[in-house]
Amino acid sequence: MLVGDGIGQTIITGSKSVGGGSTTFNCFSFLKCGISASVGDGFIARDITFRNTAGPKNNQAVALRSGSDLSVFYKCSFEGYQDTLFVHSGRQFYRECDIYGTVDFIFGNAAVVFQNCNIFARNPPNKTNTVTAQGRTDPNDTSGIIIHNSRVTAASDLIPVQSSVKTFLGRPWQQYSRTVFMKTFLDSLINPAGWMEWKGNFALKTLYYAEYMNTGPGSSTSNRVRWPGYHVLTSASEASKFTVSNFIAGSFWLPATGVPFASGL
């Protein structure tokens, strides 16, 4: 367990980036290249800021990568621009965390639930933000990114230029990319189409993107993409597949961590 004194009080920081000569997999902000942030099962971090200061023009610059199964991050902040938070693998849970970024800033192939989190899109150099880029390569894989009861809003640097920036909920990094936003506040920064292509028609028939009972000025699904893999969920039973209890079996292992969680919708 890694315990700090609070967001903005305990800060783990660095500036490794692809633009600075590192690779995406090894450019964690506070560790030497080739050493991951968390890989042992059951890793817990709370009350810490993980910050990559490479800046918006240095391409991929990971603040933290977690490959820890049954890992938990509680009241933490992840600050960067492109590729801020690498949810690499395993079952993961984020509660009351703040995540800042621009391009694909929550990405990876973990089975992960973000609950009661604040997601802040920043001002990107290329005028396009994508919140998620999920990396499922096998349709039988249980991975996916679930955003539940959270908020997606503009960071302070994006607010003055928000009208000139397109911000999307995600794009398919891999063939069977899976991402669900449910009961989440989506502010006016979200583009009406909601989702963005990776390249042409890649994965548009095989991805699984869904929205369920979101709120806010960016939550309307009337002008969303019409891809075969995009779904507007209207059934609680269907949405329940993506809860903490069902998606990451959290009711079995989260109580022992002492971190609060909602098991259902």
% of the chain with per-residue pLDDT over 90 = 88
* pTM, two decimal places: 0.94
What average pLDDT does the chain have? Answer: 93
Parse the chain into domains and list their residue ranges: 1-101, 104-251
Lowest average pLDDT, out of 6-15, 53-62, 161-170, goes to: 53-62
Name the band, by pLDDT with cuts 50, 70 and 90, for residue 34.
very low
pLDDT for res 57: 83
Q: HEC string of the chain?
A: CEECCCCCCCEEEECCCCCCCCCCCCCCCCCCCCCCCECCCCCEEECCEEEECCCCCCCECCCEEECCCCEEEECCEEECCECCEEECCCEEEEECCEEEECEEEEEECCEEEEECCEEEECCCCCCEEEEEEECCCCCCCCCEEEEECCEEEECCCCHHHHHHCEEEEECCCCCCCEEEEECCEECCCECCCCECCCCCCCCCCCCEEEEECCECCCCCCCCCCCCCCEEECCCHHHHHHHCHHHHCCHHHHCHHHCCCCCCCC
Q: Which residues are catalytic?
A: 104
**What CATH number was assigned to the domain covering residues 104-251?**
2.160.20.10
pLDDT for res 33: 29
